[in-house]
Each structure stands twice: as structure tokens, then as C-alpha cells.
Amino acid sequence: MVAVRRAIAPLLLAGALLLTGCEEDTPAAPAPAPVTTRTVTPTPTTVTPDPSPSSTPPSSAAAPPVASGKVVVLDPGHNGGNGSHPAEINRQVPAGRGQKKPCNTTGTATNAGYPEHAFTWDVAQRVGKALAGKGIRVVYTRPDDTGVGPCVDKRAAIGNDANADAVVSIHADGSTAAGANGFHVAYSSPPLNAAQGEPSTRLAQVVRDTMRSGGFSTSNYIGGNGLSARADLGGLNLSTRPSVLVECGNMRNATEAARMTSAEGRQQYASAIAAAIEAYLAS
């Protein structure tokens, strides 16, 4: 995620250092000495979601009809067990364009301690339920919010292997810059393959436009007009499918933190993202 993040206080995981940023930003502390660790390769699951959130995502009535048979991969950023497994998530993996970066990070949190990984997991479940209700096959890059990883290269591979019509990675930012707020949508640029060209930029634009129509403000501190071309995000660089990463907002901003912490707010994010995906698939 963005370079403006700083390390925040330890979360609920005892003794675990919270790493700043999203996806594969450089950790705040160097990786520990090499140790023998388990390989983190969770099996992607195809689901008809029945998530725990009690509020049922409303159907996107305004979106064009979507033909069944489409495949969408949802990538909830980070994971609940990352903070207690620093050796595993600090392990260097391919990140595209000749780069190597840490396997994953712990993500950020609100000032009150609500973690990004929990927010992204909840929103992804709500999005998945809405899409599955429209006959879309939904694949998640992780099966729960208690595991470790998967690494960013594995997350990209899940989308590629599923031959996804769209891959959407869901995150939230942690900027401490004064007044920093708003969402932005990142895409790989310059493109490394055909899918990273027009299909991904169109997906990014549709997500941006739909979220803005849904009442969300575009970022005032990163990117331009709600879009951010990136060459350093491994999950996007390694994708061969139309892929974007949505930073839903800034968790360190009090107003956006309140929205992300509430079930109603998370449903608002999910409804907008689901409507955007439906609109892209129908376009």
C-alpha cells in the first residue's frame, strides 16, 4: 500500500508487531533470522456465501443484468494470523517487474484498534453474497480471517487459475496525514499484459464511478480523481486477469473509521463494490 503509512500500535495479537500498509509494503522492522516455517498455500474455495453479517446485502437493482457463469475472485487484504507469524509474512516472494517483496503484511487499523483484515474480510463476504445471488461464481483468496497469508504471488495465482472475469482486492488505508480521507482504486501500470491494459483500467474506472455515485468521496491525498496507477503492487503485477485494488478509505480518519467499524457502513461499501462488479461484467 501507500508509502505514507506509519507503523501503528500492536493489535490484539500478543507480542505481534503491526506492520504498516497494505498488500506488500515494506515492513517496519527487518525480517527475523531464517526459520523453518510451514508453507502457506490455502486452497481457494468456490462458495455460495452465507456470511455471518446479519444484514442481507441489497440487490443492485440499477445494475444491468449479469449472465450466469461469470467468475469473480475477491481478495480480502491481509489475514488475522499474519501478526503472530512474522517469519512467514516477511519471507520475500516475487512481486512482478523483477521485484521481490514480503509475502504479506498485517495491514493497518483504526485508532481504536479495529483491524483492516477484519474489515476487508467482512466486506468481501458481503460482496460475495450479493454476487452469488446473481448467479456469479465467487472465489475467495482466503477461507477465513484467522489464518496466515496467502502471499501476494499466491493471491494473484488464484485469480489467474480461476480464469476470473474480474479480480477485486479489498483494502483500507492507514495514512496519518492531516485530513487524509477518501477511497482510491489502484491498477497495474504500465501494463505487463493485455488484461492489465484496457480491461483493468475499465474495471478501475467502473469501480471508481460506482463508489462515487454511492456517496463515497475520492481520495484527497493519493492518486488522482480516485484512480492510482501503480507499478509496485505484486498482486496486480502478477495478474493475468482484469484486476484492481480498492482502498475503501482511510482507517485513521475519524469519520471513515466510524463508517468502517459499523455493520451498516461495511454494508454500504459492499453494496457499492458489488454493484460496480456487476456493472463491469455486464459492460
Q: Is 247 a catalytic residue?
A: yes
Closest CA to 184 of 217, 215, 155: 217
Whole-angstrom Cα distance, residue 135 to residue 183? 28
Residue 198 amino acid letter? E
Pick the catalytic residue from 247, 256, 264, 278: 247
Please count the other Cβ atoms lying within 10 Å of the Cβ belonging to residue 83. 25
Which residue has cell 482511510? Answer: 250
Whole-angstrom Cα distance, residue 33 to residue 94? 20
Whole-angstrom Cα distance, residue 71 to residue 77? 19
Cα-to-chain-centroid distance, residue 188: 14
Sign of the alpha-carbon dihedral angle for 279, 141, 107, 122: positive
- For the annotated catalytic residues, the residue numbers are 247
